[in-house]
A = this chain, B = another copy of it.
C-alpha cells in the first residue's frame, strides 16, 4: 500500500482565500486541518487544526496568555475579528516544521514517521508533477494500520 492508494480527496483553500472562509470550512466539515494550494495546484502549506486555530487567536493573547483570563467571553466575534479581512497568505507564518507532503509512492511507514515528526494529523499527497492528489489523515492511517 502506497500513499497514492490511501490518499482521499480533501477540500483545499488558496493563498488568497479569506482566512474567515478557511476557518469556517475547517469547522463546518470537521477537518483535522487545512491544505493550502498554490496557483499551479501544489501544496503551499499544510496546517494542522491547532495552527488554523492559532490564526484566529488574537495576537495580544498569544503575546500575553494571562490576558486571556480577563477577556470576558470569547464569542465567534473575537476570533473572526482577529481574522478580519486577511487572506490565508497573510496568516501563514514561516514554519520551522517540515512540510507534511509525500509522493504517491510513499509507504505507510513513511507517512506515519512524517506525521509523528511534523506533529501533523494531515499529510498531503502529490503526484510526480507536484500536484495535490489528496490527503491522508491520522484517523485514516490508524484505521489502515489496525485493519491490517
Copies assembled? 2
Complex Cα gap A141–B76 (Å): 11
Interface size of A as a range: 35 or more
| Proximity string of chain A (94-137) to chain B, C-beta cutoff 8 Å, 1 when within and 0 when not | 00000000000011111011111111110000000000000000
Cβ 8 A contact of A148, one of B56, B75, B147, B148: B75
A54-75 residues at the B interface, CB under 8 angstroms: 54, 56-58, 61-62, 65, 68-69, 71, 73-75
Q: Closest B-chain residue to A112, C-beta based? A: B57
Give 23 CB contacts A-B under 8 Å. Answer: A1-B74, A24-B146, A26-B142, A27-B142, A27-B145, A30-B139, A50-B115, A50-B119, A50-B138, A54-B117, A57-B112, A57-B116, A65-B114, A68-B109, A68-B112, A69-B107, A69-B110, A73-B107, A73-B108, A74-B145, A76-B146, A76-B147, A79-B112
